[in-house]
Amino acid sequence: MSAGRPDILFPLFAGLETLAGVGPKTAKALPAMGIERPRDLLFTLPHTVVDRRRRDSLREIAPGEIATVEVTVLRHQPPTRKGLPYRVIVEDAEIAFQVVFFRGAPKWIEAQLPIGERRLLSGKVELYDNQYQMPHPDHILEPDEAGELGQFEPVYPLTAGVTQKTMAKASASALERVPEMAEWIDPALRAREGWPEFHSALAQAHRPLSLHEVAATAPARQRLAYDELFAHQVTLALARARVRRGKGRINVGDGHLRAKMLAALPFRPTGAQARAMAEIAEDMAQPARMNRLLMGDVGSGKTLVALDALLVAVEAGGQGVMMAPTEILARQHLEGLKPMAEAAGVVIELLTGRDKGRERKAKLDALARGDIHILVGTHAVFQDEVVFHDLRLSIIDEQHRFGVTQRLALAQKGQAVDVLVMTATPIPRSLSLAHYGDMDLSILDEKPPGRTPIKTALSATDRIDEVVAHLRGAIEKGRQAYWVCPLVEESELVDMMAAEERFKHLRAVLGEGHVGLVHGQMPPEDKDRTMAQFAAGEIAVLVATTVIEVGVNVPNASIMVIERAEHFGLAQLHQLRGRVGRGDVASTCLLLYQPPLTETGRRRLEILRETEDGFRIAEEDLAMRGAGDVLGTAQSGLPRFRVADLERQSALMALAQSDARKLMHDDPTLSSDRGQAVRVLLWLMGKDEAIRLISVG
Ligand code: ADP
Ligand code: MG
């Protein structure tokens, strides 16, 4: 097998101008809709059809719908004065009606509809003054040309400078270039689902014969969506196999430390925590390397699960490390873990960039001797001089999502080390399969009992004075608040200015010493200091840009005000809200918006009022906005699917994942007949990075 793209695919990757009906202008216009190669046209499908089935009479069609009828032209009625339309009276099998032209040269109209002749007309039916009429038919054909008009006309998405005709022609031309290719879908699966072959699927999807055939449930569409998802899942499965091939170690503990830790807990693990702990322990016991994601909303109790995994590593005679993205978060993790770890009699230490000199050296020595069992820190823990006695598990608390590529790079660092990534951003199951398909998943979808719900309210910005008055009352009672400033522009500078304005305003109203400010442009030490003052209760109100989104924990803070909430993503609002509701007092989240809200805008904010379930919020967000937006397209690393609809076809994603993993298990080098066919699919789908992963194998 050659290393490059197979020759048979070349015509599909040629320039757009090589297609029939595509001139230089169209070729320039198409990239605006993501069409850069003929292959892109294959997967740009019509989203609906116009029904052009022949009818005997206009009367069968409701006004506003399209009718296609054969008529005899009876007479012409040119306008009697300026401003009136040109009318042509025609007759179908049952009634006479008018064809109406508000523009167009009389000569042209006469030539199109000569008196006494038969014509096939297709266009929208209108009822005017109780008379049927058809203004400006879409098609006027002579009876012997009627075959040109299909029963159902595909309607493609368009962009400026591209017409339906061009799209139809260009995609027909691209379809002709699809070469013979061996089937890559498991034959049993294809038979069970009743999916057509690739060629027929494309033909059906582009030339639908009914409205039913443009639905996401149509077999041809399902198949093409599956092709897309499967190619993606094979890519992830290859990445996963690459990680797991790095030889792992069997990490089994006898449970004595975990038992001690659990006995010292003032509560019992939730069902979800127990399940996740069991999944992780079982995975660590496998000879292959663990590459697992622990996904759980803020407050779902990830710390306990993480510690449980770390204790498995220690029981097995080794060490564990947990890495957080910032110093503050590393400290908070230490605070959360330490009491539980010490109850188990395990030594836990913190290492950050701040450790210097003799103290740092002492820590490193203890680590190398194995006297420190668990190390918590920032990325400082990955530096070369940090040598473990016997590292068995790395936990990465991931705040911004890494892509597959970055995760691969991370996994190369430790030899044979099990990897657990934690994320506090729940995403819908279909998306987690798309985004994290290279990992195994443990989900905490249940919150510990006894939490006080957060009261969430919406309020228009013009009531800000009332809000501030309330806030004053609350801080007089010793409560603390976050005040998050609008994210209006992409620029941090603009956000910062808005935050500074609000800071000045609140300081003027609430008093100098009560209000602090943090934003992304501040030096980290200043930010840390202000955060620390807030955590210590020295400041009552913390004005911030979204930098506080990352997991800071100040249990006494019970009020969250978010300005211009309509500008934030739902997931982000949910994350922000998660900063409160951590203490004993009832918490409030106030979403301030700038009226008027659009209907969708209001609906989005109302979802937050209805639920605190991060998974449900993420599902709703997906339903309302589409996949790319939920993750934030730029940082998501999620490919753009052209055919697959992650919302309506989420079951296909799960199917594609298990199929891809099975294939990887049966044929890790993709060298069987089916494996070869899958390679062609990967090229066709532009998964060049996947091909590189195979060639290493
Ligand atoms: P996360 O890291 O997922 O945001 P934490 O691990 O910090 O959540 O847990 C949030 C809070 O819930 C902590 O105060 C923790 O002690 C508490 N907690 C965790 N698990 C349970 C449980 N099973 N029952 C009661 N409280 C729990
Ligand atoms: Mg936590």
What is the overall mean pLDDT for the chain?
Answer: 87
Query: For 293-305, how does the pLDDT look when each residue is reduced to its tens digit (9 = 90+)?
Result: 999 988 899 999 9
pLDDT digits (tens, 9 = 90+) for 111-165: 999 999 999 999 999 998 888 999 999 999 999 988 878 888 899 999 888 988 8
For residue 372, pLDDT beyond 90 = yes
* Cβ(663)–Cβ(678) below 8 Å: yes
CA distance 502 to 430: 40
Instruction: Give the three-state DSSP class for 545.
Output: coil
* Average pLDDT of span 525-542: 89
**How far is ligand 2, taken at its centre, from the CA of residue 560, in Å?**
19
Residue 631 has a pLDDT of: 43
The two structure tokens encoding residue 124:
């929208």
Closest ligand 1 atom to residue 268 Cα is 23
Sheet holding 454-460, edge to edge: 454-460, 587-593, 557-562, 480-484, 541-544, 515-518
Atom of ligand 1 nearest to the CA of 450: 25
Q: For ligand 1, atom 5, name the residue with the nearest CA.
A: 301
pLDDT of 438 reads 77
| Cα–Cα distance, 67 to 126 (Å, whole number) | 10
Enter the CATH code of domain 58-149: 2.40.50.140
Residue 423's pLDDT band, with cuts at 50, 70 and 90, is: confident
422 close to ligand 1 (CB < 6 Angstrom): no
C-alpha separations of 478 from 92, 148, 194, 482 in Å: 82, 78, 66, 14
CA pair distance 480, 447, nearest whole angstrom: 24
Q: How far is the CA of 36 from the centre of ligand 2 (A)?
A: 44
Ligand 2 centroid from CA 274, angstroms: 17
Read off the pLDDT band of 630 (50, 70, 90): very low
Taking residue 225's Cβ as centre, other Cβ atoms within 10 Å add up to: 26
Domain 256-444 classification at class level: alpha beta
Q: Is 141 in the pocket of ligand 1 (CB under 6 A)?
A: no
Residue 495 has pLDDT above 70, yes or no: no
Q: Is residue 270 in contact with ligand 1, taking CB distance under 6 Å?
A: yes
**pLDDT at 571 (0 to 100):** 81
Atom of ligand 1 nearest to the CA of 273: 23
Considering the chain, tell me which residue range(s) the CATH 3.40.50.300 domain(s) occupy.
256-444, 454-611
Of the two residues 638 and 174, the one the predictor is more confident about is 174
Its CATH architecture, for the domain 454-611, is 3-Layer(aba) Sandwich (3.40)
Amino acid at 327: E
583 ligand 1 Cβ < 6 A: no
Who contacts 243 (Cβ-Cβ below 8 Å, separation ≥6)? 289, 291, 407, 408, 411, 419, 438
Residue 632's pLDDT band (cuts 50, 70, 90):
very low
As given in the structure block, the two tokens for residue 662 are 């099975």
423, β-bridge pairs: 295
Taking the alpha carbons at both ends of the chain, their separation in whole angstroms is 14
Count of residues in the chain: 697
From the CA of 343, how far away is ligand 1's center (Å)? Answer: 17
Segment 181-213, tens digit of pLDDT: 999 999 999 999 999 999 999 999 999 888 888
Which of the four pLDDT bands, split at 50, 70 and 90, describes residue 628? very low
Is it the case that residue 288 has pLDDT exceeding 60?
yes
DSSP 429: H
Q: How many whole angstroms separate alpha carbon 264 and alpha carbon 258? A: 10
Give phi and psi for 495, each to the nearest 5. -60, -40
Tell me what pLDDT residue 411 has: 58
* Minimum-distance ligand 1 atom for the alpha carbon of 578: 4
Q: Is 173 helix (H, G, I), strand (E, B) or coil?
A: helix
Q: Is 516 or 636 the better-scoring residue by pLDDT?
A: 516
The dihedral formed by the CA atoms of 111, 117, 120 and 125, expressed in degrees to the nearest 10: 80
Q: Residue 474: what are its φ and ψ, rounded to 5°?
A: -65, -45
Sheet holding 418-423, edge to edge: 348-351, 374-377, 319-323, 391-397, 418-423, 291-296, 440-444
Q: What pLDDT shows up at residue 1? A: 45
Q: Which of 261, 294, 297, 304 to mutate to test the pocket of ligand 1 (most atoms within 8 A of CB)?
A: 304
Ligand nearest, relative to CA of residue 424: 1
Between CA 584 and CA 581 the distance in angstroms is 8
Tell me the pLDDT band of 492, cut-offs 50, 70 and 90.
low
> What is the rounded average pLDDT of the residues 653-674?
91
Please compute the mean of the pLDDT values over residues 399-421 and round it to a whole number: 63
Distance CA 489, CA 593 (A): 16
Ligand 1 neighbourhood includes 520 CB (under 6 angstroms): no
Tens digits of residue pLDDT in 94-105: 999 999 999 889
DSSP-based helix, strand, coil % in the chain, nearest 5: 45, 20, 35
The 10 Å Cβ neighbour count of residue 150 is: 15
Before 596, cis peptide (omega within 30)? yes
Q: Which atom of ligand 1 is nearest to the CA of 300?
A: 3
Phi/psi for 106 (5° steps) reads: -50, -35
Q: Are 104 and 146 in contact (CB under 8 A)?
A: no
Calculate how far, in angstroms, residue 300's C-alpha sits from the geometric centre of ligand 1.
6
Specify whether the CB–CB gap between 198 and 42 falls below 8 A.
no
DSSP code for 253: -
**Backbone phi and psi for residue 140, each to the nearest 5 degrees, phi listed first:** -130, 110
3-class DSSP assignment, residue 575 = helix
- Identify whether the C-beta of residue 460 lies closer than 8 Å to the C-beta of residue 593: yes
d(CA 576, CA 601): 18
Instruction: List, by residue range, all CATH 2.40.50.140 domains of the chain.
Output: 58-149
195 within 8 A of 185, measured Cβ to Cβ? yes
Separation between Cα atoms, residue 188 and residue 209, nearest integer Å = 27
- DSSP string covering 193-234, please? HTPPPHHHHHHHHHS-SSGGGGSTTSHHHHHHHHHHHHHHHH
Least confident of 405-419, 429-443, 493-507: 405-419
Indicate whether residue 299 lines ligand 1 (CB < 6 A). yes
| SS3 of 72-124 | EEEEEECCCCCCCCEEEEEECCCCEEEEEECCCCHHHHHHHCCCCCEEEEEEE
Which carries the bigger pLDDT value, residue 358 or residue 582?
358
Determine which residue's CA is closest to atom 23 belonging to ligand 1: 269
